[in-house]
C-alpha cells in the first residue's frame, strides 16, 4: 500500500483584528480632520491629526506585543498614514491658510495649492521609501522626518495660531514655507532618532521620570504651544544628529592622531 503525500496546509485568509482596528481608528481620525477643516473647525482638525498619531503609534506596538504582525497590516498602516499624515495635514493647511493666497492674485493662488501638493506628494514618497527599506536601515534612526512628526509640526502650528487669535490669513505668506520645508525634510537623508529602541532596558534613570512629569504638566497648561515647541526641537535635532554622525565618521577614518589611514 503506497503512502499518500500530506495535503499542504491552506494559507489563512483572515486578518488580525486588534492592530488593524487601531489602524482604522487612525485613518478615521485623519478623515475626520479633513471633514472638520472643510467645516472651518481647524482646532478640531489639528487635534484629530494628533489622535491619529497616537493610534498609529499604538497599532504597531500592539501587533508586536501580541505577535500579530502581518504583511497586510504593514500595507494597511502605510495607506492609513498617507491619509492621516499626508492628505489630512495638506488639506488642513490649504483650507486654513493657503487658500487665502488667491486673494493676492492668480499666481499666489497657485503657490498656495502647489505648497499643499508638495507636502502631500513628499509624504507619499516618504512612506514608499520607508516600505522599501524595512529590515535594511538602522532601526534607531529614521531617514528623513517621519510623516507623523511632520504632520504634528504643521498641526501644532495651526493649533497654536488659532489659540493665539491668529487666523490662517494672517500667516498665509509663512504657511507655504512651513508646508514645503516639512515636505522636503520627509524626503531628505537627514537622520532622526526613532525612539523604537528606547528604553534599552526595563529600568530608566530617575531623572527621566521627573522629565516626563514636567512635560505632562506643561502639556496640561498649554498643550498647543508645548507640542509646537517639541516639534520644532525634534525637527532641529535631525541636522544636529546627522552632522554629529558625519563628524564622528570622519574622526574614525582619520585615526586617533587625526591622520588619514595609511
Model confidence pLDDT, tens digit, residues 54-76: 999 887 778 777 777 778 878 88
Give the per-residue pLDDT at 178: 97
| 240 band by pLDDT with thresholds 50, 70 and 90 | confident
Assign 167 to helix, strand or coil: coil
Whether the predicted pLDDT of 5 surpasses 60: no
| 207 band by pLDDT with thresholds 50, 70 and 90 | confident
Give the per-residue pLDDT at 51: 96
Assign 122 to helix, strand or coil: helix
- Measured between alpha carbons, how far is 158 from 109 in angstroms, rounded to an integer? 20
Cβ-Cβ contacts under 8 Å for 167 (sequence gap 6 or more):
161
Cβ-Cβ contacts under 8 Å for 241 (sequence gap 6 or more):
141, 190, 191, 192, 193
Assign 192 to helix, strand or coil: strand
Beta bridge partners of residue 141, listed in sequence order: 193
Question: For residue 143, what is its C-alpha cell?
Answer: 531617514
Across the range 186-192, mean pLDDT stands at 91
Question: For residue 90, what is its C-alpha cell?
Answer: 495638506
Q: Tell me yes or no: is domain 17-254 CATH 2.60.40.1930.
A: no
| 242 band by pLDDT with thresholds 50, 70 and 90 | confident
Please check whether residue 242 is in contact with residue 191, taking contact to mean a CB–CB distance below 8 angstroms: yes
| 1 band by pLDDT with thresholds 50, 70 and 90 | very low
Assign 165 to helix, strand or coil: coil
Cα dihedral across residues 136, 78, 50, 41: positive or negative:
positive
Per the prediction, the chain carries an average pLDDT of 85
CA 160-84-18 angle, to 5 degrees, is 120
- The DSSP secondary-structure symbol of 99 reads G
Give the per-residue pLDDT at 201: 56
CA torsion angle for 176, 179, 183, 186 (degrees, to 10)? 140
The beta-strand segments (E) located in 79-188 are 141-143
Please check whether residue 185 is in contact with residue 144, taking contact to mean a CB–CB distance below 8 angstroms: yes
Whether the predicted pLDDT of 193 surpasses 90: no
Whether the predicted pLDDT of 261 surpasses 90: no
- Where is mean pLDDT largest: 1-5, 8-12, 159-163? 159-163
Whether the predicted pLDDT of 214 surpasses 80: yes
Beta bridge partners of residue 191, listed in sequence order: 143
pLDDT digits (tens, 9 = 90+) for 129-152: 888 876 656 667 788 899 999 999
Quote the pTM value.
0.84
Q: What is the separation of C-alpha 165 from the centre of its chain, rounded to a whole number of angstroms? A: 26
Amino acid at each position: 500500500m503506497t503512502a499518500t503525500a500530506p495535503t499542504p496546509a491552506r494559507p489563512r485568509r483572515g486578518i488580525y483584528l486588534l492592530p488593524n482596528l487601531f489602524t482604522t481608528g487612525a485613518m478615521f481620525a485623519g478623515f475626520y480632520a479633513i471633514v472638520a477643516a472643510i467645516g472651518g473647525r481647524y482646532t478640531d482638525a489639528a487635534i484629530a491629526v494628533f489622535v491619529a498619531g497616537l493610534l498609529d503609534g499604538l497599532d504597531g506596538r500592539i501587533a508586536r506585543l501580541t505577535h500579530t504582525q502581518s504583511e497586510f497590516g504593514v500595507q494597511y498602516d502605510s495607506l492609513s498614514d498617507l491619509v492621516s499624515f499626508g492628505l489630512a495635514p495638506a488639506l488642513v493647511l490649504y483650507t486654513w491658510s493657503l487658500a487665502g493666497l488667491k486673494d493676492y492674485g492668480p499666481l499666489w493662488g497657485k503657490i498656495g495649492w502647489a505648497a499643499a501638493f508638495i507636502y502631500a506628494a513628499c509624504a507619499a514618497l516618504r512612506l514608499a521609501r520607508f516600505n522599501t527599506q524595512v529590515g535594511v536601515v538602522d532601526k534607531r534612526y529614521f531617514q528623513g522626518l517621519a510623516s507623523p512628526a511632520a504632520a504634528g509640526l504643521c498641526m501644532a502650528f495651526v493649533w497654536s495660531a488659532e489659540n493665539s487669535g491668529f487666523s490662517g490669513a494672517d500667516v498665509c505668506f509663512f504657511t507655504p514655507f512651513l508646508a514645503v520645508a516639512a515636505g522636503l525634510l520627509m524626503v531628505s537623508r537627514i537622520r532622526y532618532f526613532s525612539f523604537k529602541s528606547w528604553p534599552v532596558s526595563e529600568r530608566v534613570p530617575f531623572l527621566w521620570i521627573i522629565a516626563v512629569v514636567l512635560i505632562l504638566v506643561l502639556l496640561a497648561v498649554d498643550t498647543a504651544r508645548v507640542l509646537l515647541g517639541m516639534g520644532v526641537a525634534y525637527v532641529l535635532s535631525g541636522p544636529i544628529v546627522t552632522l554629529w554622525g558625519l563628524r564622528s565618521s570622519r574622526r574614525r577614518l582619520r585615526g586617533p592622531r587625526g591622520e588619514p589611514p595609511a
